[in-house]
Structure 1
């Protein structure tokens, strides 16, 4: 039976606060006017645990999840660690298991250590999934994937090499060493660079965690260690602005080129002054919406179609059954010319 939820106005205010950059250290929840219910008649609760709470990327996912909750009518719970720490994230996951949420969706900092907890949740009758970052060796029922691995890795490489003039040396500043999505993209970049761009060499890959200041420091060290370096990739939303800041600080705009996976507004100034050539990303709010929608389907015991009409913004989301993946769509190239199309 569908129930009416009164707090739509409050949710709209909460969502606008997230868009304005406000964050909460507790679990945010969202609901809609008509709530899906389980056999007991209770509103479905979908919990999402990001890698890190309080950064623009995951707050944008939270906004999308809240929008889905408002439109589809379920309770959206959101809480992540305040540092990109696998143990802290595991504590939050355990808390949601103890609360008995209906669906638990995680973007794991460490997929291998998260797998046993997802099994524990599943054994407790909770539907489990991953989003943004996968735990492929776990019992997760679906991975909500932002874009194809090849699309992201090749998109980063093409954008950087174009700015480098088709030749030179570059380095990668990644984030978590165990992040499955980042490592998969880096593998594509290595193979694609070697096969398509024989005049280009990757000289190093370093890991800064989810720490922008550390990414800036490491990028500076890379430029000092390799005076002939002409490119840097920031592999996540904290290292993308980090490497651009390093180039700006070194006075090497136009000499060392950078691209990365940065959220649009965090990259705007760098795109404008040329310290970053492009950001390769996707619509992060739509990823959050798709995550919430997927949770509702799991809670209802529904199977995904080969093509899914999720919303007016997501009319044809592909489901890859062999890999149990929902694919948001192709990666986007964000530049100074289109950055203002995105408000996060």
Structure 2
């Protein structure tokens, strides 16, 4: 994400071992801004040329997920390429989808920057025989073949508010520092959080939702503005790896009593967890998410799944030890439940 990640990232939850945590043709030259590697792209006559298209490049969350996807792809004899825009925009992703289609990729695994804007390009890719897996952040269900979800929308929203409620005594004003206004996963988590708060924590008031656009400086500035606008603010929830790290840096520099949680990259958050700025935060294992995305692409290429509810697929090497997954309603494949990071476990996670 930049969790966006959520990408929905920082989407932000695998089992007990969880934590935080592409791919087009092997014969084509690497697209500018991307990287490639792997074998021939063909195994047993299958086109295992699989491209990962994150929301943007240079995001630690997607670096982790995509490298793990590369390992899975190379493990079953495919070729890997990662391509993507420098900024998290839908227009930037569209151009890469079109290029990968022209290059006859076997599959594209992407974290969508917009729920609607990518659908036309994805439709052309599918018409050309390219399988399309979304992960971390989805498009409309009718656009792609399957969506690999880190967790359920409801569990992600609830977990963040449960952590915040614990820190502020279930009472007070809270703000949300989100990614971009069009990030589908972020918006869904935030909506679920708001509904859950209204029913579970009536004394907590969500006073604002602001957007840092998965940019470090913008997120830092939005944090400063929130504290200025709401001097009695008790907490900030940031469901994005970029946003929570930037907010933590600001609060830490000011020795602010405002509480902070959300979805974060463990490696970025170690300092702030240990000094008490962020006692707890959540995420999923982006490495597991990347691997599951790769195996979902393989299953689509093999024809063992089509995106129909009840389809079964196999995956290997996930930290939660799960090897079989079932396609749910609307073609959704769910990785697992949320995981909470704190002082007791933060040092175990190096990605």
Tell me the TM-score normalized by structure 1: 0.87
From 151, 160, 183, the counterpart of 1:156? 160
Contact 2:150 2:336 in 1 (8 A): yes
Structure 1 match to 2:27:
none
Q: Where do 5+ consecutive residues of structure 2 fail to align?
A: 1-20, 22-30
Spell out the pairing of 1:159-170 with structure 2 (5 A cutoff). Answer: 159-170=163-174
Deviation of 1:100 after TM superposition, in Å, equals 1.0
Cα distance in 2, alignment partners of residues 250 and 206 from structure 1:
20
Structure 2 match to 1:190:
194
Secondary structure at the residue paired with 2:85? coil
Cα distance in 2, alignment partners of residues 273 and 62 from structure 1:
31
Secondary structure at the residue paired with 1:238? helix
Write out per-residue CA displacement over residues 40-59 of structure 1, whole angstroms, 9 at most, x where no aligned residue: xxx51011110011111000
Deviation of 1:130 after TM superposition, in Å, equals 0.8
| 1:326 matched to 2:328 | no
| 1:100 matched to 2:104 | yes
Cα distance in 1, alignment partners of residues 314 and 128 from structure 2:
30
Cα distance in 1, alignment partners of residues 180 and 331 from structure 2:
24
Deviation of 1:328 after TM superposition, in Å, equals 0.7
Structure 2 match to 1:310:
315
Secondary structure at the residue paired with 2:213? coil
Cα distance in 2, alignment partners of residues 25 and 159 from structure 1:
41
Structure 2 match to 1:207:
211
Larger mean Cα displacement after TM superposition, 183-192 or 238-247: 238-247
Cα distance in 2, alignment partners of residues 90 and 29 from structure 1:
19
From 102, 111, 114, the counterpart of 2:115? 111
Cα distance in 2, alignment partners of residues 120 and 306 from structure 1:
25
Structure 2 match to 1:271:
273
Structure 2 match to 1:343:
350
Cα distance in 1, alignment partners of residues 324 and 277 from structure 2:
34
From 157, 169, 176, the counterpart of 1:172? 176
Paired residue total? 317
What do you get for the CA RMSD once the two structures are aligned? 2.0
Cα distance in 2, alignment partners of residues 192 and 338 from structure 1:
27
Cα distance in 1, alignment partners of residues 193 and 278 from structure 2:
18
Q: Which is helix-richer, 1 or 2? A: 1
Secondary structure at the residue paired with 1:113? coil
Structure 2 match to 1:6:
none
Larger Rg over CA atoms: 1
Cα distance in 2, alignment partners of residues 101 and 53 from structure 1:
20
